[in-house]
Structure 1
Amino acid sequence: MTVSAEFTARAMAHRPELLAHCYRMLGSIHDAEDLVQETMLRAWRAADRFDPERAALRTWLYRIATNACLTALEQRGRRALPVDLGGPAETMQTRPVRRPELPWLEPIPDALLGNSADDPATVVAARSGIRLAFVAALQYLPARQRAVLILRDVLAWSAAEVADLLETSPAAVNSALQRARTQLDKAAPMIDQMSESLSPAERAVIDRYVSAFGNSDMDGLSKLLLDDVILEMPPALLWFAGRTQVLEFFTGKANRGSDTWRAIPTAANTQPAVAYYLRDENGVHQAHSIHVLGTTGAAIERITVFLGPDLFPLFGLPLTH
């Protein structure tokens, strides 16, 4: 079978939004990359059976991707953040115990979600409903309810379109959607919609956060944090709640001397983020963690620190600085 270059190019144009779709379903950028690759391979193999009179290419690709995700989820548990698995730490620990064997939620780099050069509709579909707290809340839903809510409330598909994709009835779709919304309201107050780029206030938060952390300026960091700020550090189960606890933990990490840490501002899940490098005993700054910041205006309400170097290549970042 010969697949035309035009078909391949048209299919690949939808890759950013398909990646976002699989990421919302699975909560893992690594798993999402694998499933998009599988989607494209299935589409390539079935290209001669694609009938544009029956369905648009985009709809056909979403059908393949959604079914691939549903199959994958049959063998996988939900992905979580530390706050989902227990209460906050009551005492300070300098070395959180890591649990890499647990299925942790992962961030998605904004650079993979499309840019201004892409089709605007593709960019909107990729960046809508991608905030970390929303994707974490989605993980509480059964797989098919998750698919229904994403397709209906994030991508704005009609009940009939979703029913056709999932091979069910519009009534069943509406019923599943209602149950999904009820469950989601318990985990997240509202669906977090897209922001095409970081706002000036969010960019200022990054600058102030990097400056405060790099200069061991706990007073400056304190002014950035809300009273009920949360700090979590997957794959460590440990997490902290409240400005006092967070500052106490960071004080021991930031006060290590000049040039201990180096930072590269970035963005994940349409949120401000910072990649940090820690100087080792040889004076080399090694990839350490990516801090994803949840903000309210010019204040930080949540800091999710993804420990380890595994995510750095996906962000296009070097392992040393």
Structure 2
Amino acid sequence: MHTQEEFATLAEPYRRELLAHCYRMMGSVHEAEDLVQETYLRAWRGFEKFEGRSSLRTWLYTIATNACLNERKQRNRRALPSGLGPAGGDPDAPPEAASGDVLWLQPIPDTMVTAGPGDPASIITSREQLRLALVASLQKLTPRQRAVYLLREVLEFPAANVATMLETSVAAVKSTLQRARAALTDLDTTHEKLTEHDAQDLLEQYMTAFEKADLAALERALRKDAALEMVGYSTWFSGLHTCLRYLARVLGSPGTWRMVAVQANGQPAAAAYLRGEDGSYDAFGLAVLTVTPGGISRIAVFGKQDLLPSFGTPSTLS
């Protein structure tokens, strides 16, 4: 009989990649963590019956994927504001709050899903597979399409393996993958990549501009077609002029904001802190940047204080 320690030794190395998989399936860090815990509990309970017909990794992915599919039956898809409707045209008007039944996509800290120093190529690949644009687009698929797309295109399991994992036929897997690809035709899979140094340089420009309330510096950092969306509101903006008009309203004076650099979804991000009346800085939320050689193309603002602890940042800065 296997001990719990033996099971942990064999299964624990897969935890981070299973968390990334469940996150891509669900669009929520908290739900992904719960489902990974459920996966390991189910796997431990059934470990004695595991006959080794597939690899342990494949078996764990089978359990995790089906746990996500069962959970997704009871959940609406998660979205970003840009997935709810067209861009807003009046940055001077108050943003419009979304209806209460909208579930929002959450960012995920790189530290939760990247295993630290290793093969640079594999680390870059894993980050690319977690980009906000990809995860948001995946939420538009049916749960079954999403599972097949991830297992085939991202994780590169053979079609026969995926058919076994989902208890279906190879023909059904191929048909579902074709429909998923067709639904993702607008997903940019050939975007220009920046070096780590250049990406961090753009992040530094963004953070410094906010801390100094320097709208001209923000203008230099943003692309002409930049977009800005604030999770929690259905309103979002597109185009440099419109984005800058909105940002001018929130910049305040120098010292209103402080920023801490982090990484989310394989992208540069800034934990934002807003100065209070007592001079301390309270956690406001997280800005995840999409960066290109031409500048910052998108800012996704997650105004949730409870997101920051998972990024290792404090709730207050003195």
For normalisation by structure 1, the TM-score amounts to 0.92
Distance apart, 1:156 and its partner CA: 1.1
1:172-200 deviations in Å (ceiling 9; x for gaps) = 11111111100111x4133779x8x9711
CA contact (8 A) 1:201 1:298 kept: no
Cα-Cα RMSD: 2.3
Alignment-derived partner of residue 272 in structure 1: 268
Distance apart, 1:127 and its partner CA: 3.5
CA contact (8 A) 2:213 2:255 kept: no
CA distance, structure 2, for counterparts of residue 28 and residue 149 of structure 1: 18
Distance apart, 1:117 and its partner CA: 4.7
> Taking structure 1 as reference, are residues 119 and 59 closer, same or farther at Cα in structure 2, changes over 3 Å only?
farther
Distance apart, 1:158 and its partner CA: 0.9
Alignment-derived partner of residue 8 in structure 2: 8
Matched, 1:30 2:26: no
Alignment-derived partner of residue 58 in structure 1: 57
Matched, 1:291 2:287: yes
> Taking structure 1 as reference, are residues 67 and 122 closer, same or farther at Cα in structure 2, changes over 3 Å only?
farther
Alignment-derived partner of residue 140 in structure 2: 140
Distance apart, 1:283 and its partner CA: 2.0
Alignment-derived partner of residue 107 in structure 1: 107
Alignment-derived partner of residue 149 in structure 2: 149
Q: More displaced, 87-96 or 300-309?
A: 87-96
CA distance, structure 1, for counterparts of residue 288 and residue 101 of structure 2: 22
Structure 1, unpaired ranges of 5+: none
Three-state SS of the structure 2 residue aligned to 1:204 is helix
CA distance, structure 2, for counterparts of residue 244 and residue 117 of structure 1: 40
CA contact (8 A) 1:19 1:32 kept: yes
Q: Aligned runs of 1:238-257 on 2, under 5 Å?
A: 238-254=235-251, 256-257=252-253
Three-state SS of the structure 1 residue aligned to 2:305 is coil
CA contact (8 A) 1:224 1:299 kept: yes
Alignment-derived partner of residue 79 in structure 1: 78
Alignment-derived partner of residue 167 in structure 1: 167
CA contact (8 A) 1:312 1:318 kept: yes
CA distance, structure 1, for counterparts of residue 174 and residue 198 of structure 2: 38
CA contact (8 A) 2:16 2:115 kept: no
CA distance, structure 2, for counterparts of residue 70 and residue 180 of structure 1: 16
Alignment-derived partner of residue 49 in structure 2: 49
Distance apart, 1:258 and its partner CA: 3.1
Distance apart, 1:116 and its partner CA: 3.3
CA distance, structure 1, for counterparts of residue 128 and residue 304 of structure 2: 27
Matched, 1:214 2:234: no
CA contact (8 A) 2:223 2:294 kept: no
Distance apart, 1:98 and its partner CA: 4.1
Q: Aligned runs of 1:222-241 on 2, under 5 Å?
A: 222-241=219-238
Alignment-derived partner of residue 180 in structure 1: 180
CA contact (8 A) 1:229 1:241 kept: yes
CA distance, structure 1, for counterparts of residue 56 and residue 293 of structure 2: 39
Q: Aligned runs of 1:193-208 on 2, under 5 Å?
A: 199-208=196-205
Select 2:313's aligned residue among 313, 317, 321: 317
CA distance, structure 2, for counterparts of residue 106 and residue 226 of structure 1: 24
CA contact (8 A) 1:113 1:123 kept: no
Alignment-derived partner of residue 301 in structure 1: 297
> Taking structure 1 as reference, are residues 64 and 120 closer, same or farther at Cα in structure 2, changes over 3 Å only?
farther
Distance apart, 1:282 and its partner CA: 2.4
1:55-79 deviations in Å (ceiling 9; x for gaps) = 1111110000000000011011111
CA distance, structure 1, for counterparts of residue 294 and residue 7 of structure 2: 45
- Give the paired residue count: 316
> Taking structure 1 as reference, are residues 6 and 121 closer, same or farther at Cα in structure 2, changes over 3 Å only?
farther
Three-state SS of the structure 2 residue aligned to 1:213 is helix
1:139-158 deviations in Å (ceiling 9; x for gaps) = 11111111111111111111
Distance apart, 1:236 and its partner CA: 1.5
